[in-house]
Chains A and B, each alone.
Chain A
Amino acid sequence: MDEKKSLMQRFKDLSKPKKLQLVMASLLTLVLVIGIPVYAWFSYSSNIETLAKIKAPTTLDIKSGHAYSIEYLDLSDIDASDVDENGVGSKDYIFAVKAGSSISSYDIQIAHTTNIPFTYELYRASELGEGNNPPPGTVATFVYHNEQTEESISYYYGYASNSSDSEDSVAVPGSSKLELTDLNPDGDTFGRILGKKNDASGIYSEKTGYSGADDPQLYAVPLYSQHTGIKTWNPAADYFILRLKWNTKNDNTAFAKWNAAENNKETDMIYISAKASAGSG
């Protein structure tokens, strides 16, 4: 017959004291199951804890066009022979600074070695939405092509003045060029007159090979320049155009060591760094 019925029957068949015992045993088991956590609570409550938040450090990310990862910032493909009638050539690259909402303004510093006689200029740019026309006052547009995603995104610059707090608030055409303030010692701001000055001669080392940490090859010593107090327009990404310019004519007599740009020159290293402006944390 049915198993349940027989169990019930068996329970009924038990004598009264045995029934009582069974019920008590079941209840005690239940009490134990519930009671153990209660006891644990008691025996550990001489322990206390308090929770505090850790503030995240303010960070600035440098990214490539359209705020893609920095690995897509490719500074290659420069043809030094591609110049105008004055022998002047230039090439633009876009990069982004992601400042986040906690940083209201920041500084951009650019450092570069001087193997190739490039000059560097920095412009603020804005992304041009698809199908939109650049606003009046635009100096130039620039198309960034991401090799990985096969995307082409347009940027324009020369529209708003950098002093404005947001890219939309000021419709006055102005130069968006960010003047780079020279940070180099001894006023050696241009060209390739660099490196550690020789104490005896007062000029930089012109050795072509590496001859020790304190005596680097002169073109390997970077030049520094920066623009401070750049206001955060968009916490997700502010865009900048880095313009490399060169001159193929060796006609600038102002610099004793200036050489004309050629395609058979070697590599330069360019460092772009961003840091929250003092007091803007």
Chain B
Amino acid sequence: MTGKTKNAQPQLTKEQKDKRRKALIKLGSITVLTALVLLFATIAWFTMNKETGTSGMGVKVKGKSFDLITLSDDQDNKNGAFYSPYHEAIQRGETEGYGIWLVDGSSNINNYSSSGSSESSLGIEPGSSGTITFYIKPYSDVTIDFTFQTIGYISGTETVEGHQRTTMTELSASEGDPACFLNGHILLFEHHDTFYSGLIPADGNGRRVLRKTFEVGGNYDADTNGDNRNDAYRVDIHWVWPETLDTLVYNANATDAVMICDRNAASAQGGNDYQQVVNHICSYPQFFLKGLPSGTSYTEAQIKGKNAMYNDADQDIGMNVEYVLLRLSTDTSSGD
């Protein structure tokens, strides 16, 4: 301690005052500088994460039990990957960070545009279908729960400091809401040959969980062209927006050829996929048919031919939902 007392402060000379001011300025500058350095460090994190790698984005969780690899923005050649500019408006509003799942010509949900082609031709509608792909590179034998969600958005604008910018608002997906029908009208399957098989059904909360086990040293099917997809498993998700209910639930008006799932045979993966889809609709009619509430389990005969209800739901989606976000969250199953 110094010998100065608090109560009996001597009259400060001009020199002392200046000295004190200088000390204060020094302290202030150092604090600001420190904060700035920290801020830059933080920004650098973000920037680094955005630009990791040139051909793939690897993300490790739980002590490197697996990498989830998707396309990332190729700094030299941006033609290979694409994402909607509206996605930025969603990312801006999100508190949790979700990586952008970039798409290319063979892996997309009709949201890929090669450079030069117009974006207005993009979009999905009843009858659309396609495949979207990611890779899993296991570091130990691991069972992963992939949870898919389809979330509806509408765009708008807001004015921030005199500048207009796009906003994206998440739509409510309560029963009866247009966005609720996305859970049923956009179906996800594990396999697609002539018919679709391996439905990934939505639960009551619209979560579609696919559990898969990956072994280290297994029969990898990813390209081994020197990028970080070496020793990785390719996972294809086949999405389809059936045009009519008759293509899901067989009606006398339909033919076997238009059906989404094979009605007459078990799939190569085993199990009757047609029946699985029908049972799913019977259990969750609120995802498929407008005006058929949940709470009752219906039979195939009761939902058969309810095309008008299915079409009404399609109309609701088309009129009220502008964008659909396909979100994939991963979690290692308990026990790993």
List, in ascending order, chain A residues with CB within 8 A of B90's CB: 49, 51
A51 and B111 contacting across the interface, CB-CB below 8 Å: yes
What distance in Å separates the Cβ of A139 from its nearest Cβ neighbour in chain B? 38
Instruction: Identify whether the interface residues of B are mostly helix, strand, loop, or mixed.
Output: mixed
Q: Chain B interface residue count: which class? A: 35 or more
Q: Name the residue in A27, A34, A43, A52 with the highest tally of chain B Cβ atoms < 10 Å from its Cβ.
A: A52
Does B96 count as interface, using CB distance less than 8 angstroms? yes
Complex Cα gap A41–B59 (Å): 11
Contact present for A51 and B84 (CB under 8 Å): yes
CA distance A47 to B83 in the complex (A): 16
**Interface size class for chain A?**
20 to 34
* Alpha-carbon distance between A13 and B5 when the two chains are bound, in angstroms: 10
Q: Which of A39-82 contact B (CB under 8 A)?
A: 40-41, 43-57, 59
B120-128, B199-207, B249-257 - the one binding chain A:
B120-128
B325: chain A residues within 8 A (beta carbon): 49-52
How far is the CB of A5 from the nearest CB of chain B, in Å?
8
In the bound complex, residues from chain A placing their C-beta under 8 Å from that of B96 are 40, 44, 47
A169 on the interface (CB 8 Å rule)? no
| Cα A35 to Cα B35 with chains together (Å) | 12
- Taking a contact as CB atoms under 8 Å apart, the answer to whether A49 and B328 are in contact is yes
Question: When the two chains form their complex, are residues B123 and A54 in contact, meaning their CB atoms are under 8 A apart?
Answer: yes
Interface positions of A (Cβ within 8 A of B): 1, 6, 8-9, 12-13, 15, 27, 30-31, 34-35, 37-38, 40-41, 43-57, 59
B→A interface (CB under 8 Å): 1-2, 4, 6, 9, 20, 24, 34-35, 38-39, 42, 45-46, 49, 59, 61, 68, 70, 83-84, 86-87, 90, 96-103, 108-111, 122-125, 132, 134, 153, 314-315, 317-319, 321-331
Given contacts A27-B34, A38-B42, 10 further A-B contacts (CB under 8 A): A12-B2, A30-B38, A43-B61, A47-B328, A47-B330, A51-B323, A52-B325, A55-B125, A56-B318, A57-B315
